[in-house]
Structure 1
Amino acid sequence: MVTLLGDIATNYIEMRGWQKKLLIAHSIAALQRKTAQLIKAKLEAGDISELDNSNAQAQMINTEADIIQMEVNLSMSIHRLSVLTGRVPVALQDFLQKSAEKKQLPKPKWPISVGIPADILLTRPDLRRAERQYAQATARVGQREAERYPSLSLTGNISTTAESIGQLAKGSTIGWSFGPNLRFPFFNGGQVVASVAVGRAQRDQAFIAYRAAVLGALEEVENALVRLYKEQQRLKKLLAANAAYSHSLQLSQGLFESGNISFLELLNAYRSYYSSQMSLSDSHIVLAKHYIALMKALGGGWDGVVDVSFPEIVDKTASSHVKVKR
């Protein structure tokens, strides 16, 4: 269930990401069409060469081609999301496309506590399964150890010779026997000892598997945290770079219209701004995916501050086995 929810969340992020990229591409394409019209007017006035006009047209058409591919990717994301939620591929098409320009990419909840309690990992099904297997293997060792020693049991039975219900009241028709049963495992002692050794080996294997599962889970959490925090730092840098590219494009447009720079310089400003916008959108998507990966690594449902003393969050019985040192 955690995996399914994670896949749904990831595909939803990707779908909103493609919608965001399409908005960016349409905005850039509109600017490029406006520039292409200006270039055409300058060409007719003899102020620029045919080369600049061709470059402007090529840039605009290339962006329009990108839009077509993005629309394909968006449709595929919607189809996948519909199937993951148990619907036919086109079931969510209208719903998810409605007011797409107003929808924002989901953002992680900040700040994320650095001191995530280790007990929260016990919400992971794989760790619970490994812990239970280790506990069962330990219990079996105790059972096999008990078979090495003599055991005493008391047995008894009651019988009757009555042939009718009326004769049951006569004490002479009722008999009983009672006696102890003492068991000495002398003749199969070697078999019992071997069984105990096998049980201990199975317990050790279960412990190794449990320890590996816990360490693997901790590694996943640490990796997810590193990726999340580093991507957040990268996003801040991209935001600053995007602001600088946006300012550069505005200056370049003014300088080109006044004839102070060539169209090639304006073209480079467009490309840099377009690339910056897409990188910024990608970073938002990656950041949200890393947050989802962290939630999956924690078993799903972790939302910041957690009091692991409550049994509805962490099974107290299981929490006694969380230590992996031996």
Structure 2
Amino acid sequence: MNARRRLLRLSRSVAALVGLSLLAACSVGPEFAPPDTGLPSKPFAAPDAGGSLTAPPDPNWWGIFHDRTLTELENQVATANLDVRAATIRLAESRFQRNVAASQQLPTLNGDAKLNRENFSQNGLVSLFAPLVPAGQNFSIQPITDYYTGFDASWELDLWGHVRRQVESADANVQSGVEQRRGALVSAYAEVARDYMSLRGAQSQLAIARDNLKISDDVLQVTQERQRSGLQNALDTENAAAQIESVKAELPALEQKEAELINALSFLLDEPPNALRSRLGAPRAIPLTPPATPVGVPSELARRRPDIRAAEAQLHEATANIGVAVAAFYPSVQLNGVAGFDSLTLPKMWWASSLQYNFGPSVQLPIFNAGRLQNTVELRTAQQQEAALLYHRTVLQAWHDVVNALTAHRLEQERNARLKAQVVHAQRALEIARSRYKQGVEEYINVLNAQRTALLAEQRLADSTTNLGLDLVQLFKALGGGWETTFPVTAAAVVK
């Protein structure tokens, strides 16, 4: 009972010491304050060529293209894309690391049980006691068995916030992982949309080339008939045949591009080559952009870009690490204790007289470390300055990305309108030239020139229509996707 009373009194003393320590606890080092982005308060561009984006749009921004196949592909990205899945695993790793750091705030307790059987050498140190034994008696020490069971505990009091700053740093690292995963998702969404737009553009180019091949073949038949009738020589026939071969020569490169884009989409969705051929091989029109697109974009929306938020979290992490380094200059106080039961006989193992323990605090104060602690603080401060510059660079890059995407889309709209008008005129000129050639009142060279002009105009219009979609995709990516605040549940469930 006396041992129990002593243990109880000691426990109360320890509790009182811990309470006073916690009341005096503080966190050294700088406190983190969210930095100013420096972005302008006004919209990035005046809404003079389209609508003004005043509220976050649907996170599923690809819906504005009204393409069911594109929507189906995008819906697979969160769970299928390898980069997104890897980012999800890295996020889980950072959460586990945070829990490891947080565990240092609590005491550690270890159980211990031992059974030792020891036999002493009769010719070792024990033999020194032989002269003390009365004459005529044999001197020997029998083997002994020692039974022990107990536990040991330790707890470092976080008086200066060393552990709290570590947890703060780990929390910021987790937040950075959250944003990096969202950034990987936004990039994958944009990449799928870009490859899909480019694929439909390549298929449109193929369709244009094949349509022009039919026109060239029709012109060749006319020239052959006129040659057989003696109305012209073989020159026009050879020129018409050469035009056919010129158009045919463009087909392999376009077919190669089509195959590469189908495989690129397959890779983005974790599929083997040609896995999506059955879904994407049939040509379809290039997805059309809406007539009124957001041009006046409030700058505050760009603040929600994942890379900006990740850079802010990394700056927070670097700031907290300074506090960890500063806390290393201060004394560390640790409470240690060992309690157990020790007996040479098992029946007496749990007797009160078998109880043994020791408790007490320990204090460690750094005195000399050859400048290691000071250089660590300087290192963490330099890393914080680097993180601040990285944040500023990320924000500035976002600003440039948004403005460039807005400018590219606006100017491409103007170019697209001019190309549409050119195609109308070029097709009319080709029809007139073909009609007059059949009537025998036009030289074939004029037909050939009109056909080449029409083909080039149609190809440029197809490229421009593709670029309109690509520019709009780039704008959504530059603004951080659909400004979503939650991650798709199906993908989030991959790693708890």
**In the alignment, which residue of structure 2 is the partner of 1:80?**
264
1:131-280 residue pairs with structure 2 within 5 A? 131-144=312-325, 196-280=377-461
Q: Give the aligned partner of residue 466 of structure 2.
A: 285
Structure 1 residue 104 displacement after superposition: 1.6
Corresponding residue of 1:12: 196
Match for 1:93 among 274, 277, 280?
277
Judged with a 3 Å threshold, the aligned counterparts in structure 2 of structure 1 residues 256 and 144 are, in CA distance, closer, same or farther, namely: same
Change (3 A) 1:164 1:108: same
CA pair 116-131 structure 1, distance change in 2 beyond 3 A: same
Call closer, same or farther: CA 1:272–1:156 in 2, change over 3 Å. Answer: closer
User: Which stretches in structure 1 are left out of the alignment for 5+ residues?
Assistant: 314-326
Which residue matches 2:37?
none
Letter in 2 for 1:49: N
The match for 2:220 among 36, 44, 47 is 36
Q: CA deviation at 1:69?
A: 3.5
Deviation per residue, 1:103-131 (Å, 9 max, x gap): 2212334312422434444332x333321
- Identity score, percent: 26
Number of the residue aligned with 1:123:
305
Q: 1:194 to 1:265 in 2, by over 3 A?
A: closer
| Alpha-carbon distance, 1:41 to partner | 1.6
Structure-2-length-normalised TM-score:
0.51
Q: Which has the higher helix share?
A: 1
- Give the TM-score normalised by structure 1: 0.74
SS at match of 1:106: coil
Contact 2:302 2:398 in 1 (8 A): no
Secondary structure of the 2:274 match is coil
Q: Which has a greater percent of strand? A: 2
Shift of 1:195: 5.0
**2:38 counterpart residue number:** none
Change (3 A) 1:192 1:42: closer
Partner of 2:31: none
Range moving further from structure 2, 271-280 or 138-147: 138-147
Q: 2:293 maps to which residue? A: 111
Q: Once superposed, what is the RMSD of the aligned Cα atoms? A: 3.5
Q: Which moved more, 1:110-119 or 1:242-251?
A: 110-119
Q: Residue 305 of structure 2 contacts residue 478 of structure 2 at CA under 8 Å; is this kept in 1? A: no
Query: Which deviates further from its counterpart, 230-239 or 85-94?
Result: 85-94
State the SS of the aligned residue for 1:20. Answer: helix
Matched residue type, 1:230: L
CA shift in 2, pair 1:127/1:41, >3 Å: same
Give, as a single letter, the amino acid of the residue that structure 1 aligns with 2:294. I
Question: 1:75, 1:159 → 2: CA distance?
Answer: 73
Tell me which structure has the larger Cα radius of gyration.
2
What is the total number of aligned residue pairs between the two structures?
Answer: 296
| C-alpha spacing 1:77/1:199, structure 2 compared with 1 (3 Å) | closer
Counterparts of 1:228 and 1:251 in 2: how far apart (Å)? Answer: 35
The amino acid that maps onto 1:46 is: G
Counterpart AA for 2:321: R
Letter in 1 for 2:273: P
Cα–Cα, structure 1 residues 68 and 146, in superposed 2: closer, same or farther, change >3 Å?
closer
Please name the residue that 2:136 is paired with: none
- Relative distance call for 1:198 and 1:15 in structure 2 (3 A) is closer
